[in-house]
Amino acid sequence: MFRKFVAFVVGTVIGLASSVSVSHAEEVNVYSYRKPQLIDPMFAEFTKQTGIKVNSVYAKKGMLEKLQSEGRNSPADLVFTVDIGRLSDIHNAGLTQSVNRERFAGNIPDNYMAPHGHWFGLTTRARIIVSSKERVAPNAISTYEDLADAKWRGRICTRSGKHPYMVALTASIIAHHGLEGAKTWLSGLRDNLARKPQGNDRAQVKAIKEGVCDIAVINHYYMAKMFKDPKQLPWAEAVNVIFPNQSGRGTHMNVSGVALTKYAPNKDNAIKLMEFLASEAGQEMYAQKNAEYPVKPGVAWSDLQNSWGRFKEDSLSLGVVADNRTAAVKLADEVRYND
């Protein structure tokens, strides 16, 4: 199908320089928001086991618009992305098709699959709290609700309240506490910020190391990335890792996931790739190479994950989180979180 892939650059979709001819029986074509180094090893192993070639192209942004413009002529079979928001946006735009959930019943828990099979979580990421080892007692904060406690006034850093990761967390708070309860929480968190929301998750940990703030909210796998980077290692070593709400509902989880495109030209091969990535072999590669938590129960964790210990996950369906995203964005505006 593809004679050539041309990369998406600087967040602008240039498009595929491809000549669409008769579909090749042994290939599958992927559009991905996930960086190549995170998923190419899994694709290589899949090809080794099946003989099916995986053609992939990375996009920093603009994938939804690209699929819309291509319509029925799109060569893409699968879309790989992070965050429930991006998965649901592609589904809500009518760009996916359903896959029988029974194919994944033993590998992917029900709350990490779309109700009608339009997207599937392949890994989970915990939205953790990190706190300064020097300035915060180890057990001083244990829940997301604690982030709104006035005792932390001027001591918390986060990224934008409208970033998808923060939106998903707020959406989960709406699901658990209702709209008014979530508004009270988000207003309290806003009042406790040490600075205007800014930067990525690693920037929050750096700010703790530099004394700008004492507490931050990040995705867990950024800790693994920082431990592997000599420049960022001191940031990671400066904080304690906290999995929130262990005495209650559990830690908020998000996903990286996959969806089958509406007009997938290599549908059968695409589903085979989905099944491989949800299998024990694929799941173990995700855990060992990327420090992401496998969705399949019983798959071995990385050494770093094991050092943090087992924890209770929030079992809230990500479909419910997706349904609350619009309200979460409106709340961020209403409480002027980013101001």
More confident position, 317 or 8: 317
Secondary structure element (H or E) that encloses residue 308, with its range: helix 303-308
pLDDT digits (tens, 9 = 90+) for 283-322: 999 999 888 999 999 999 999 999 999 999 999 999 999 9
Residues 41-65: what's their mean pLDDT?
Answer: 92
- The predicted structure's pLDDT at residue 129: 98
Same domain flag for 269 and 226: no
pLDDT exceeds 80 at position 11:
no
> Do 65 and 142 share a domain, yes or no?
no
7 assigned to some structural domain: no
User: H or E stretch including 173?
Assistant: helix 164-191
Residue 25, pLDDT score: 58
Q: Which residues contact 175 (CB under 8 A, 6 or more apart)?
A: 316, 320, 321, 324
Q: What is the full DSSP assignment across 244-262?
A: --TTTT-B-EEEEEEEEET
pTM score? 0.88
What tokens were used for 95?
């760009």
Q: Which residues lie below 8 Å from residue 107, measured CB to CB, with a gap of 6+? A: 278, 279, 283, 295, 296
The answer for residues whose C-beta is within 8 angstroms of residue 268's C-beta and 6 or more apart is none
Stated as kind and residue range, the H or E segment containing 227 is helix 221-227
Residue-range definition of the domain harbouring residue 290? 27-124+254-301
Question: How many domains are contained in the chain?
Answer: 2
For residue 6, is pLDDT > 60?
no
Rounded Cα distance between 180 and 174, Å, is 8
CA distance 3 to 126: 39
Query: Residue 267: pLDDT above 90?
Result: yes
Q: Kindly state whether residue 152 falls inside one of the protein's structural domains.
A: yes
Q: With H, G, I as helix, E, B as strand and everything else as coil, classify residue 137.
A: coil
**Residue partners of 262: CB distance under 8 A and separation at least 6:** 94, 95, 96, 97
Distance CA(308)–CA(94), nearest Å, equals 40
- The rounded mean pLDDT for the chain is 91
Binned at pLDDT 50, 70 and 90, residue 61 comes out as confident
| 68 & 87 share domain | yes
Neighbour count for residue 183 (Cβ, 10 Å):
19
**Looking at residue 37, what is its pLDDT?**
86
Q: Which residues contact 308 (CB under 8 A, 6 or more apart)?
A: 220, 241, 243
Q: Encode pLDDT of 82-141 as tens digits.
A: 889 889 999 999 999 999 999 999 999 999 999 999 999 999 999 999 999 999 998 999
Q: How far apart are CA 297 and CA 108, in angstroms?
A: 8
**Which helix (H) or strand (E) element contains residue 286?**
helix 280-290
Pairing of strands 253-261, 120-132: antiparallel
Please indicate, yes or no, whether residues 45 and 186 belong to a single structural domain of this protein. no
Strands 253-261 and 78-82: what pairing?
Answer: antiparallel
Domain match, 205 and 325 both:
yes
Mark whether 47 and 108 lie in a shared domain: yes
Could you tell me what percent of the chain has a pLDDT over 70?
A: 93
pLDDT value of residue 4: 36
* Of 332, 333, 325, nearest in space to 86 by CA: 325
**Which residue did the predictor score with more confidence, 253 or 5?**
253
Task: Say yes or no: 195 and 330 in one domain.
Answer: yes
Among 22-36, 146-160, 189-203, which is the least confidently predicted range? 22-36
Judge whether residue 52 has pLDDT over 70: yes
- Residue 19 in this model has a pLDDT that exceeds 90: no
Tell me how crowded residue 89 is: count the other CB atoms within 10 A of its CB. Answer: 17
Same domain, residue pair 330 and 225: yes
How is 140-170 classified by DSSP, letter by letter? S--STGGGG-GGGTT-EE-S-TTSHHHHHHH
**In terms of domains, do 159 and 199 share one?**
yes
Is 3 inside any structural domain? no
Same domain, 226 and 267: no
Do residue 181 and residue 58 come from a single domain?
no
What's the sign of the alpha-carbon dihedral 277, 300, 169, 134? negative
CATH number of the domain that 295 lies in? 3.40.190.10
> For the chain, what percent of residues have pLDDT higher than 90?
84
